[in-house]
A and B are shown apart, each in its own frame.
Chain A
Amino acid sequence: MQTKKIIKVCFQGETKRLRMADSYEALTKQSREAFAPLLD
């Protein structure tokens, strides 16, 4: 049984739980969407 993996991404003191991305590009996209208010 495969364990569900998650990614915790921290940016400027704020942490988000993201679903495990299957690629580096997907990880970047998810992180930009999660921290969009901070990146603007």
Chain B
Amino acid sequence: MIPLKFYYIDEEQELISINCQSDFIEAVEFCDSILKLTVAANVQMARNQMVRNIDDNTSLAESLNQSGFISQRSSYRMRSATSDFEDLTKEQECSTARVPFHKPLETKPVVHEMAVGSDNVHMKAVDMGTDVRNLIPKIDIATVTQNVVLRDTNTNTCQEYAAASSQVEIPTNDVGCDGLPSVNFANQANGTMIN
């Protein structure tokens, strides 16, 4: 049967062995709630085992911390710890409820500040556009003119024609839109001369 030897680390970080009942009692009195012992064949193996355990526990703690396991448990503790706070009295609750988070808005007649024109109908041309100083008479404003005669405009001609210019071999009195009376009755498009 292999003899078991127990070791532990005391408050001065020294490796202590347990070989008999008195050593065991001393170790029990030393610890608070948990007595951590290492079983090894000798001191050197016990030391190596403890160093390896410390490294393993450290890496394990780091892994758990990175995975958020410890923080979750910590936050759970924080949430549960909130129940340990003292309850507010009725007066304190009322005073807290009266604390304004936002300044109340003042009621202002915002209708008059809107950037739109009035509802009045402007009957005078001098009131429209940028001519606010009444410098231009009404008859000269914009496109409203009184001196344009219909027969002088570009789009209205007074020439009469007997047939459309696209018709073939139809004598016409006038062709085109040049505004001058035409003397030939031939169509320019068909290429035949009648006159």
Contacts and interface: CB of A to CB of B under 8 A. Distances in A.
A27 B6 contact: yes
B33 A10 contact: no
A5 B34 CA distance: 6
B156 interface: no
B34 A6 contact: yes
A39 B6 contact: no
B188 interface: no
A3 B39 contact: no
Classify the interface of chain A: helix, strand, loop or mixed.
Answer: mixed
Interface residues of A, number: 23
B6 A13 contact: no
Contacts of B21: 23-25
Interface centre among B24, B33, B40 (most CB of A within 10 A): B24
A8 to B, nearest CB: 5
- Contact size range, B: 20 to 34
Contact of B49 (A7, A8, A13, A21): A13
B20 A4 contact: no
Q: List 9 tightest A-B contacts by C-beta distance, closest first.
A: A24-B24, A11-B39, A24-B21, A7-B35, A8-B36, A10-B38, A9-B37, A3-B33, A6-B34
Interface of A: 3-13, 15, 20-21, 23-25, 27-28, 31-32, 35, 39
9 contacts: A3-B33, A4-B33, A6-B35, A8-B35, A8-B36, A12-B49, A20-B35, A21-B24, A32-B4
